[in-house]
Chain A
């Protein structure tokens, strides 16, 4: 596949996966049979440059979350490599690994399952600093991050069940920001949020990219949300990247069938009022 963004080749990627294939073994169908395997990522290359916001869209089950797990080092790819700052993260020493883990943070799909229900929010926010053994003024950092996501300090003393889904997702984003990452990977971070809050979070993500020079990998199945947030979008289908382009080009002249389906699935208020949204 040719890459349409030659100008980007001038800046080396900050985080990159090259020709990654990931397979999982499934359960045996019979006692003696071989375990069948499923290829979830098929020779996928993907990268993000410093301060760049890239999008990843695709229907459910296409492999987006698996790609996230590989990019963050939660899973080792069966084939292929992951590079942070030009260095293979699976080949270096402990220091390289720690720097990579600290610099790449992820916001997961479901805030309720990513926060410990028995832990006060304040403690949950400190958790990544403890796990990564990061020193400094933790209290000041907590307050700074709460401000960034638009939550008040009262939240610190409360437990996850005392918040609505929308509030919890902002807390999850705050927690990902705690170690001051260089790359933020957001896996459908706004699909569970209310529209007005969605807009706040999308604006916040854009601000973080611009003001902190953060790189963003934004994953969603709603192309309009991704288009708003990123400047280069990859479309996934069945474990492959089938199209890469600027958001406007994907909207106006989608090439791959998967892209066309995603464009066709967008619902708008105007189409609804005109009575042809479900046509």
Chain B
């Protein structure tokens, strides 16, 4: 895995990011730093605010939503950037791979044209140069028959191929940061591994930073150095992936790990039950007081129901009044068969 290089400025420094519309606050003050070349995973349940976080970094929030706080990238604060300054950066120093590649590709333009347009928009490359670079990118993505693929329309290629075209487009201008929002959720497992491998190699070769958004813990384990766990708009646990996954401190993180169907916790006679977190993510308009996880937490106390736990400082942090201490539970990574 790439070691973050200390001589380059951080790829992203996020302080107290809040994302809201007139009635709801979906992201409620998050802080994290992604060093140049670093790889961070952002994991959390549906509705926890992962996508809105990513969209606010890209300046692509949906109508009516607004971001506050500080997001420093490449020496500028992205939150205060004008739309025009943002769009010149988008695709150049930060680029994003979306969950659904069909909706982010233009259905009526050939894919070769779409990727080379991105290159021409951000560099001085001529039409021929941009096309040659696109072809080279398609080869790097292990796309079959790249010359023919240049002339294909998005609907004429498979989902896995489309997602590789999106990754090619995201890499086109040698960005400093790639944000990948559930890039393989819509893909078949067999294709998923291939796409992840390609993304992994491309990020490594270029030394760009990666922010990997997913609810799939094995993907984070395979791709990232650090992980931030989000719940109801806040980061509840953060640290090196190996430490967080081997010895989670927050009860939500542990619940996620225990819910993984692994070959260890599946009794293949059909009698096993997976451990699951009871209840569901609270709706934004009626978040519980105190720790937002308390209605689902078996360790919740009166304090949890009254006061919001703050994220600890340091490398390995959790926001929990009663964090799980290392060694307290030796079976953390194995999963539980109830």
- Which of A42-50, A125-133, A175-183, A223-231 is found at the contact surface with chain B? A223-231
| Interface mask (B230-249 → A, CB under 8 Å = 1, otherwise 0) | 00000000000110011000
A-side contacts of B263, CB under 8 Å: 224, 251, 268
B191 CB–A CB distance under 8 Å: yes
Contact between chains at B45 and A203 (CB < 8 Å): no
Contact between chains at B190 and A262 (CB < 8 Å): yes
A53 CB–B CB distance under 8 Å: yes
Contact between chains at A202 and B159 (CB < 8 Å): no
Contact between chains at B277 and A196 (CB < 8 Å): yes
A13 CB–B CB distance under 8 Å: no
B-side contacts of A248, CB under 8 Å: 268
Contact between chains at A269 and B221 (CB < 8 Å): yes
B266 CB–A CB distance under 8 Å: yes
B311 CB–A CB distance under 8 Å: no
Contact between chains at B217 and A273 (CB < 8 Å): no
* Contact with B46, one of A165, A199, A266 (Cβ below 8 angstroms): A165
Given known A-B contacts A166-B46, A269-B260, A278-B200, A221 and B218 have beta carbons under 8 A apart: no
Contact between chains at A199 and B275 (CB < 8 Å): yes
B270 CB–A CB distance under 8 Å: yes
B102 CB–A CB distance under 8 Å: no
A191 CB–B CB distance under 8 Å: yes
* Contact with B185, one of A53, A60, A191, A269 (Cβ below 8 angstroms): A191
Complexed CA–CA distance, A59 and B280 (Å): 31
A86 CB–B CB distance under 8 Å: no
| Interface mask (B147-188 → A, CB under 8 Å = 1, otherwise 0) | 000000000001110000000000000000000000001011
Chain A residues numbered 197-211 whose CB sits less than 8 Å from any CB in chain B: 197-200, 202-203, 206
A119 CB–B CB distance under 8 Å: no
Given known A-B contacts A166-B47, A196-B259, A150 and B279 have beta carbons under 8 A apart: yes
* Contact with A221, one of B189, B215, B255, B262 (Cβ below 8 angstroms): B189
A265 CB–B CB distance under 8 Å: yes
Contact between chains at B276 and A200 (CB < 8 Å): yes
B-side contacts of A221, CB under 8 Å: 188-190
Determine the residue in chain A with the shortest Cβ distance to B275. Answer: A199
Contact between chains at A195 and B189 (CB < 8 Å): no
A267 CB–B CB distance under 8 Å: yes
Contact between chains at B216 and A224 (CB < 8 Å): no
Chain A residues numbered 223-270 whose CB sits less than 8 Å from any CB in chain B: 224-225, 227-228, 230-231, 246-248, 251, 261-262, 265-270
Given known A-B contacts A165-B46, A195-B216, A206-B273, A270 and B261 have beta carbons under 8 A apart: no
B-side contacts of A147, CB under 8 Å: none
Contact between chains at B190 and A196 (CB < 8 Å): no
A-side contacts of B268, CB under 8 Å: 227, 246-248, 251
B272 CB–A CB distance under 8 Å: yes
B135 CB–A CB distance under 8 Å: no
* Contact with A225, one of B192, B216, B261, B283 (Cβ below 8 angstroms): B261
Contact between chains at B189 and A199 (CB < 8 Å): no
Given known A-B contacts A167-B280, A199-B261, A228-B272, A269 and B333 have beta carbons under 8 A apart: yes
Chain B residues numbered 1-54 whose CB sits less than 8 Å from any CB in chain A: 1, 45-47
B61 CB–A CB distance under 8 Å: no
A272 CB–B CB distance under 8 Å: yes
Determine the residue in chain B with the shortest Cβ distance to A279. Answer: B197
A212 CB–B CB distance under 8 Å: no
B193 CB–A CB distance under 8 Å: yes
Given known A-B contacts A59-B188, A222-B189, A272 and B218 have beta carbons under 8 A apart: yes
A134 CB–B CB distance under 8 Å: no
B196 CB–A CB distance under 8 Å: yes
B-side contacts of A273, CB under 8 Å: 221, 241-242, 245-246, 333
Complexed CA–CA distance, A185 and B8 (Å): 53
Contact between chains at B221 and A198 (CB < 8 Å): no
Contact between chains at B221 and A272 (CB < 8 Å): yes
| Interface mask (B268-299 → A, CB under 8 Å = 1, otherwise 0) | 11101111110111010000000000000000
| Interface mask (A133-174 → B, CB under 8 Å = 1, otherwise 0) | 000000000000000001100100000000011110000000
**How distant is B171 from chain A, measured CB to nearest CB, in Å?**
18
Interface positions of B (Cβ within 8 A of A): 1, 45-47, 158-160, 185, 187-193, 196-197, 200, 215-223, 241-242, 245-246, 255-257, 259-263, 266, 268-270, 272-277, 279-281, 283, 333
Which 8 pairs show the lowest CB-CB distances between chains A and B? A272-B221, A166-B46, A199-B276, A164-B46, A277-B222, A164-B47, A267-B218, A60-B188
Can you sample 16 A-B contacts with CB below 8 Å? A59-B188, A60-B190, A195-B215, A196-B45, A199-B277, A200-B277, A206-B270, A221-B190, A224-B266, A228-B274, A246-B268, A267-B216, A269-B260, A273-B242, A273-B245, A278-B196
